[in-house]
Chain A
């Protein structure tokens, strides 16, 4: 009985906190049929917003994936002074309000800050252009890949890697043949999470993008702009598109993930 009790508690909680709210967005978007949805998404501004969003998100995911694998291995397999601090610092971005992220980046990379000014003089504009948006997105999604891999890497132990070393495998081979297969589902999960977070980021990007219509406007900014101009169908359509992309990517990894949970 305890089993059913727990199941009921968990599912009811999820129903009210997650399923009903999210279902409501979908219903609101499609209550007038699918036509307005696709019309709204095929406007020039919407397509451009898609492009900007994906460019920024792909950069952020690529950077955070490389960093995430490296940092996770560093945290689990190596020892060095200040390791705890590093672990805490990696989680810190979660605790920073997006508004502050924007403010912080402008303080350093803005045109009137020393470092930002120096970059600007060398022809690199960071804030109010793509690099700044990538920075902001990397910032907010930084811990996700690391945090997805670390527990698995810890549970996995390094016996097999050690064994591979003993058998003459070099570091890269051991990494590729042992570590990567071991963490791959966690890694894929982390990447998808990072991607989803990057696509949905609003606050920090709003501050550093300058909201240039058809230039630095991301999908979330587009949602806000349309919504504020009483273009609710377009706003809901873009919001739903974001949610759908997120759900599809999540389901995709779920389907592709080996069923290592069922023993």
Chain B
């Protein structure tokens, strides 16, 4: 039965396996080539076309397009809100993942399945429903419509699964012997968490947070309704881009998109560096 058991592998090798033996063979190159062609055709070439469009007329033009008052305001709001959203996700996502793995209560399986719903729900429907619940005639008496708090709620909704779903599998695979050993040697629960669990979870936590951040800066559909879309106040960058396109200002739209792309890529790349640094240290 060893073949069909997921957990046996890590049971043999305590803790996460970081130093995987690397193979080098012609298959790598073939696989890499195929993956790159696929990525290029679908993602890279089209995105390069956007970047090219925004910078084709010179850096001055690009800078001017990014620093128009409303573009700049929307970029600030988007990135600021996404940082907050990412941090809330870091904490709440980890808590939820923890509860889903280590706690037992009736209906846990249902809750677990619900986590992915924000991915599945068309974002425009998500916005609609959040507006119904947290809008001006909210049954809960909470009116967040047309405020920045409303933007945050919408972003939290769509980014919910990221941290939960990156932390959860790691927590599942985590070997509990070490924790039990530490506990039996008299370590307090918090110490066990901080010294044993957290170092193992951290890469997944950071990774999920970064994904939530990148998703959040791009969000369009769900924020539109609840944000009220007020320029300089609640208009996020994606809506601003939409407006630029409507204005026949494809260059401006491409320029703001390029800024978002660069920020996202920088975050993803930094995340990778941090993880590797952490892995080497641990």
Contact = CB atoms under 8 A, between A and B. Distances in A.
B245 A103 contact: yes
Interface string B142-168: 000000000001001100100001100
Contacts of A142: 39, 42-43
A242 B36 CA distance: 33
A186 B254 contact: no
B242 A78 contact: no
B141 interface: no
B118 A18 contact: yes
B105 to A, nearest CB: 6
A107 to B, nearest CB: 4
B99 interface: yes
Given A24-B132, A182-B9, A263-B7, A84 B273 contact: yes
Contacts of A200: 119-123
A177 B260 CA distance: 42
B235 to A, nearest CB: 13
Interface stretch (A38-46, A148-156, A209-217): A148-156
A20 interface: yes
Counting contact residues on chain B (CB < 8 A from A), the size range is 35 or more
Given A90-B39, A154-B16, A261-B101, A73 B31 contact: yes
Contacts of A171: 27
Interface in B41-90: 42-47, 49-50, 53
Interface residues of A, number: 104
B179 interface: no
A178 B269 contact: no
A62 interface: no
Contact of B120 (A186, A199, A203): A199
A223 B112 CA distance: 28
A92 B112 contact: no
Given A17-B160, A157-B9, A196-B116, A223 B124 contact: yes
A154 B268 contact: no
Contact of B24 (A79, A88, A90, A178): A79
B20 A88 contact: no
A174 to B, nearest CB: 11
Contact of B221 (A77, A86, A100, A203): A203
B125 A7 contact: no
B182 interface: no
A80 B28 contact: yes
A11 B24 CA distance: 46
A175 B14 CA distance: 23
Contact of B50 (A73, A100, A186, A197): A100
A22 B121 contact: yes
B264 interface: yes
B50 A202 contact: no
B217 interface: yes
Interface in B184-222: 189, 204, 210-211, 214-215, 217-221
Contacts of B253: 100, 103
Interface string A193-208: 1001101111100000
Contact of A95 (B32, B45, B49, B217): B217
A74 B45 contact: no
Contact of B122 (A70, A86, A239, A263): A239
B218 A11 contact: no
Contact of B121 (A9, A148, A181, A243): A243
Contacts of A28: 132
27 contacts: A10-B95, A18-B117, A22-B117, A74-B35, A78-B28, A84-B272, A88-B269, A89-B265, A91-B268, A92-B214, A97-B218, A100-B253, A103-B254, A108-B49, A138-B42, A139-B43, A142-B42, A144-B119, A152-B6, A155-B169, A156-B6, A157-B17, A177-B3, A200-B120, A242-B122, A247-B120, A250-B117
